[in-house]
Amino acid sequence: MAHDALAPASGNTSEMVRSATSESRLARYGLIALSLAFVGLFLVMPLAIVFTEALRNGPGRFYEALADPETWAAIRLTLLVAAIAVPLNLVFGIAAAWAIAKFEFKGKAFLTTLIDLPFSVSPVISGLVFVLLFGSHSLLGPWLSSHGIKVLFAVPGIVLATVFVTFPFVARELIPLMQEQGTSDEEAALSLGASGWQTFWYVTLPNIKWGLLYGVLLCNARAMGEFGAVSVVSGHIRGMTNTMPLQVEILYNEYNFVGAFAVATLLALLALVTLVIKSLLEFKFSAQIAAARKH
């Protein structure tokens, strides 16, 4: 983390050396000011306006907007979808990281590329593929409707689209971390007579828990906040298949700005909590996380 040697202008450094390997004071302050201005304009102000707009007409209107039954339905659906999608991708992420990080096999690089695939697909296309698969014009569509199974414009479709979009998060966080750690700890445990599951629970899991937590947090933030893919498969049925981001869109398009920004504050708070926990983890376990970040 802290490369203190890189910090310019430490007291005892001679003027010659300092000017040779660091910028002039003017350039330094100029660059810092420029980045602060950029961060303020592009990151801080959008976040700040969410809260000011939501509270624009006082806290009373804010609570009123949140108490709306359709908003509550949206919150419940978002929590339900995340509660299904995140554990599924957690199990997958651990399995994928175990196979890729602990073993050498043919086609590993290709498999890693496939796992990253959802990152390079537009969210709208992620939703579209499920419409093509389960829609009334598809092969599966007529069979599903004759058996009374609703996938599209219902919860299963929303869950599928969310799983698709959040697929790589846990695996991507764990693979570099577990590769860095190697297999010697596991080999030691096995040679001392531990079973495979014991090795995983008592040796591997404690080693990766912080990286795992961070992966789950990112996965969850994306699962709760996904808009494009869910919007395509949900059908926007109010109080039924609207997740929180879709509710934000609907309220905004109805010019109910206080309502839209009130729901948005909840999502913004989720993002802030994610960032704070991430920073705390990085602060306490900088070495582990830094290893995970080197993709």
Q: How far is the CB of 256 from another protein (least distance, A)?
A: 11
22 in Cβ contact with 8 (< 8 Å): yes
Q: Read off the tokens for 48.
A: 């700040």
Q: Which helix (H) or strand (E) holds 144?
A: helix 140-146
Cα dist. 16→7, 23, 24, 60, 86 in Å? 15, 12, 12, 62, 55
Q: Give the residue with the Cβ less far from another protein, 54 or 63.
A: 54
Of 167, 193, 173, 194, the C-alpha closest to 282 is 173
Q: Give the residue with the Cβ less far from another protein, 55 or 99.
A: 99
Cα dist. 191→101, 179, 180, 199, 204 in Å? 20, 20, 21, 10, 15
Q: How far is the CB of 63 from another protein (least distance, A)?
A: 19
Q: How far is the CB of 208 from another protein (least distance, A)?
A: 14
CB neighbours of residue 75 within 10 Å: 17
Q: Give the residue with the Cβ less far from another protein, 177 or 232.
A: 232
Q: Give the residue with the Cβ less far from another protein, 83 or 272.
A: 272
47 in Cβ contact with 211 (< 8 Å): no
Q: How far is the CB of 123 from another protein (least distance, A)?
A: 5
Amino acid at 193: G
Q: Give the residue with the Cβ less far from another protein, 160 or 208.
A: 160
Q: How far is the CB of 59 from another protein (least distance, A)?
A: 19
Q: Give the residue with the Cβ less far from another protein, 83 or 113.
A: 113
Of 156, 133, 153, the C-alpha closest to 143 is 133
Q: How far is the CB of 69 from another protein (least distance, A)?
A: 21
